[in-house]
Amino acid sequence: MKFAVLVFPGSNCDLDMYHAIKDELGEEAEYVWHDTKDLSSYDGILLPGGFSYGDYLRCGAIARSSNVMTEVVKAAEAGKPILGVCNGFQILTEAGLLPGALLRNKNLKFMCRTVDLKVVNNNTQFTNQYAKDEIIKVPIAHGEGNYYCDEDTLQSLKDNNQIVFTYSSENPNGSLEDIAGIVNERGNVLGMMPHPERAVNELIGGADGLAVFKSIVKQWRESHVNQA
């Protein structure tokens, strides 16, 4: 499976994404610059964390207008798996690929620590290697991770089982309903604030995040075997 790791001016977790795919899973990965106009050769798209364009205007607001985002929308419409982490999640909401918005943390401070997440929905192409309601430990590092949406959108997320991860032992940023990650209705676009790519090896404090990437690869391989 071949992944595109998107790189915007200010991205700082692209190396972590690349490492998770290339070194931990042994799959193909390439860095793809924000002005790229063709993603058709990639099977999966990864939007890393960081501070794209310095987080000016709003987090992800400028990045969503990059050339490559037109191609990300096309990839989403084609059903390809797309994962946005932290700033990548913010970009996906700005682009309209996921509902809601990420606001300033409730305490108005940047936070960087490991948190407990509950896998609310393990029936997605991003979580099929987890057990339902499994508690995993994944780092966070953000100043604007407070997920918000209106009441109708929240009800829709619940009705369609789109809430994938919630904060378990604590809600570090004030997110509505403890939401830490959601998918689109089709289930091929996941946005999450915690960083699974920073939890892929016990040597760096834990490997609970690796199953996110394993899940993507497993689903892709199974779908291609069925097509064959």
| Residues assigned a catalytic role | 86, 195, 197
The closest alpha carbon to 193, from 126, 115, 135, 133, belongs to 115
- Please give the Cα distance from 72 to 103 (Å, whole number): 23
For residue 77, which of 186, 153, 156, 2 has the smallest C-alpha distance?
Answer: 186
- Please, are residues 94 and 53 in contact by the beta-carbon 8 Å criterion? no
Q: Are 14 and 52 in contact (CB under 8 A)?
A: no
Closest by Cα among 97, 131, 135 to 215: 131
CA 72/CA 80 separation, integer angstroms: 9
Distance between CA atoms of residues 107 and 208, nearest Å? 27
What's the distance, CA 118 to chain centroid?
15
Q: Which H or E element spans position 74?
A: helix 67-77
> By the 8 A CB rule, do 39 and 72 touch?
yes
Q: Which two tokens stand for residue 103?
A: 């606001």
- First-to-last C-alpha distance (Å) of the chain: 15
